[in-house]
Structure 1
Amino acid sequence: MPLNKENVYRKELAKLSEIFKDVEEPKRQLVEGLIQDAAFLLAENTALKELLSQTGMVKIHPKNPEMQKPVEASKQYLKNVNSYAVIIKTLNGVLMKGVIEVDDDLDEFE
């Protein structure tokens, strides 16, 4: 059953918003656009992945297998994955800034 991009977007937006609900308001407002972009990219890639499952990521010439060409959708998929990863890393950095590290017993050995 194909996934609806809008449903994927809303689900991811809700998930990320829930994760950031306890972040200080100014920081949350600052990353609001990144949260929306992450949800958008995930939804787009869900649709692209569905398409690529049918077409494959590379077109191979039927008579000459050495002749190969990437499918345009695969190029976009990879760009989106990279952008999504950068956004998630950035968002995670914002989350980690508010975490207080708990001392552990290994600190005594430093």
Structure 2
Amino acid sequence: MEKNEVLQQERTKLYEIFADVDPSKSRLVEGLIEDAAFLRAENHVLRQQLAKTGMVKIHPTNPDLQKPVETGKQYLKNINSYSVIIKTLNGILAKNVIEDDDDLSEFE
């Protein structure tokens, strides 16, 4: 799958998840959704490269000499950023569900 396909799939998925959220909250998280989709697509490319190289270079004659691959470092940074964004988006979804439940409790 190409980077642009991954980007579009992630963007579509996240916007579908937020389709039922209050419009003002949806507008508020647009940037986070775009950033999450971008990071997901970037990591797709990095992961393909890491499948070839691995995350650590090991010296061929002295296995004790090891060096982290820059691609691996960036992948981990992106994963951490993506995780924070998804956690934030999930928190907004959770608040939306609680607010919807509160509206229903008035009718009980």
The two structures have a TM-score, normalised by structure 2, of: 0.89
Q: 1:63 aligns with which of 61, 75, 89?
A: 61
Q: Which residues of 2 match residues 30-109 of structure 1 at below 5 A? A: 30-100=28-98
How big is the shift at 1:98? 1.2
Among candidates 21, 24, 27, match of residue 23 of structure 1: 21
- Inter-partner Cα distance in structure 2 for 1:6 and 1:25: 27
Unaligned runs of 5+ in 2: 102-108
Over residues 12-69 of structure 1, what are the superposed CA-to-partner deviations in whole Å (9 max), with x where a residue is unaligned?
0000000001111111001000000000000000110000000000000011100000
Q: What is the distance in 1 between the residues matched to 2:2 and 2:66?
A: 31
What code does the residue aligned with 1:48 have? L
Q: Distance in 1 between matches of 2:98 and 2:25?
A: 17
Aligned-pair RMSD on alpha carbons? 1.2
TM normalised by structure 1 equals 0.88
Q: Structure 1 segments of 4 or more deviating over 3 A?
A: none
- The aligned length equals 100
